[in-house]
């Protein structure tokens, strides 16, 4: 069946059941949707804000009872969503994309900024496996550390090491999270690195994964319109992020290194520096 006609691509109207202010610029929104409750960690959805726009968002909570998106206020659509109230309606399509591949053994999870939202359901799935998790959480400042308590609570079920780094040193070690990742990789071996966050951060994680010969899975963001591989707004090299990703392996990212970490595309298709 064409991707256009699938049940996932049909717009469903859902009621906002809860709203939480997570950080000064980030709110999470809870709603119910049957299809999304069966999504895989790392898949994404399209959220339609009536009269404004439709934008891609990761699912940061997936359960039969409630789905959660966590939205940073950056522009017109996200600002409009932040002004919505409990009981208001939004539209959703999805789930789209591939999601993370779950492995067993010893894994490192590296999250930065709102990228952490896509990693939260991953941590839930990892905690059900035979894994040892090193979770490294980074943000500019302590007020922007997302889902710290939630992630720590989920990881309490497994052997884990949870560390924080902030650029201003207001929580955890001072500096960027990739420096902390490098320290760990220098002394320990991992079976997989999972990462989501600013692209420059993920690019550094790609370089580290190559240097330490550790497999990597990274979740990418690009402009998205159709989310089903038709419009081409989300291209990176030979890949369409909505259809071939948003999660890519280190091998795949090495093939698009001239773009990954350096450029994204604007809505007119022109390359813009990251």
Ligand X SMILES: Cc1cc2nc3c(=O)[nH]c(=O)nc-3n(C[C@H](O)[C@H](O)[C@H](O)COP(=O)(O)OP(=O)(O)OC[C@H]3O[C@@H](n4cnc5c(N)ncnc54)[C@H](O)[C@@H]3O)c2cc1C
Binding residue for ligand X (CB under 6 A) from 74, 86, 153, 274?
74
- 264 in contact with ligand FES (CB under 6 A): no
Position among 17, 53, 88, 210 found at the interface with ligand X (CB under 6 A): 53
Is residue 225 part of the contact set for ligand FES (CB under 6 A)?
yes
For 232-267, give the DSSP string.
-TTEETTEEHHHH-SEEEHHHHHTTTTTTTTEEE-T
Using CB under 6 A as the binding rule, whether residue 230 contacts ligand X is answered as: no
Q: How far apart are CA 273 and CA 263, in angstroms?
A: 5
Residues in contact with ligand X, total (CB under 6 A)?
21
One character per residue 8-47, x = contact with ligand X (rule: CB under 6 A) = ------------------------------------x---
The tokens of 28 are what? 């999470």
Sole residue written with tokens 């591939």: 98
Question: Measured between alpha carbons, how far is residue 48 from residues 21, 80, 81, 87, 155 in Å?
Answer: 20, 11, 9, 15, 33
| Cβ neighbours of residue 37 closer than 8 Å, sequence gap 6 or more | 62, 63, 64, 65, 67
Q: Which of 226, 236, 247, 253 binds ligand FES (CB under 6 A)?
A: 226
Quote the least distance from Cβ 112 to ligand FES, whole Å. 23
* Contact flag: residue 237 with ligand FES (CB under 6 A): no
Which two three-digit tokens encode residue 174?
């001072």
Q: Among residues 40, 93, 222, 240, which is the contact residue for ligand X, using CB under 6 A?
A: 222
The two three-digit tokens of residue 180, written as one number: 């902390």
| Residue 71 interacting with ligand X (CB under 6 A) | yes
Within a 13 Å sphere around the CA of 25, how many CA atoms are in the beta-carbon half?
14
Closer CB to ligand X, 96 or 184, in the complex: 96
Site for ligand FES in 82-121 (CB under 6 A): none
Q: Considering the complex, what minimum distance in angstroms separates the CB of residue 173 from ligand FES?
A: 37
Measured between alpha carbons, how far is 7 from 240 in angstroms, rounded to an integer?
A: 21
Q: Is 68 in the site for ligand X (CB under 6 A)?
A: no
With residue 27 as reference, give the H or E element that holds it. strand 26-31
Query: Which one of 75, 105, 169, 237 is in contact with ligand X (CB under 6 A)?
Result: 75
Q: Is 240 in the site for ligand FES (CB under 6 A)?
A: yes
Q: Is 14 in the site for ligand FES (CB under 6 A)?
A: no
- Among ligand FES, ligand X, none, partner that 229 touches (CB below 5 to 8 angstroms by kind): ligand FES
Q: How far is CA 65 from the centre of its chain?
A: 21
Site of interaction with ligand FES (CB under 6 A): 224-227, 229-234, 240, 242
């Amino acid at each position: 069946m064409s991707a256009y006609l699938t049940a996932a691509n049909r717009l469903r109207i859902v009621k906002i059941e809860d709203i939480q202010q997570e950080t000064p610029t980030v709110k999470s929104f809870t709603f119910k949707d049957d299809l999304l409750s069966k999504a895989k960690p790392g898949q994404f959805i399209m959220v339609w804000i009536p009269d404004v726009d439709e934008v891609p968002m990761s699912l940061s909570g997936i359960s039969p009872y409630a789905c959660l998106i966590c939205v940073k206020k950056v522009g017109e659509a996200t600002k409009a969503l932040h002004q919505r109230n409990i009981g208001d309606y939004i539209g959703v399509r999805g789930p789209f994309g591939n999601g993370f591949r779950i492995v067993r053994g010893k894994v490192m999870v590296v999250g930065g900024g709102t990228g952490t939202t896509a990693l939260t359901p991953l941590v839930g799935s990892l905690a059900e496996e035979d894994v040892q998790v090193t979770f490294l959480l980074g943000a500019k400042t302590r007020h922007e550390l997302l889902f710290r308590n939630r992630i720590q609570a989920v990881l309490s079920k497994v052997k884990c090491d949870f560390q924080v780094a902030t650029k201003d040193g207001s929580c955890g070690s001072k500096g960027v999270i990739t420096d902390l990742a490098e320290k760990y990789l220098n002394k320990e071996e991992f079976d997989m690195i999972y990462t989501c966050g600013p692209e420059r951060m993920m690019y550094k994680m790609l370089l580290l994964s190559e240097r330490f010969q550790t497999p990597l899975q990274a979740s990418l963001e690009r402009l998205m319109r159709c989310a089903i591989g038709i419009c081409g707004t989300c291209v990176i090299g030979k890949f369409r992020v909505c259809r071939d990703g948003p999660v890519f392996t280190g091998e795949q990212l090495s093939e698009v290194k001239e773009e990954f970490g350096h450029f994204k595309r604007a809505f007119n298709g022109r390359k813009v520096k990251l």
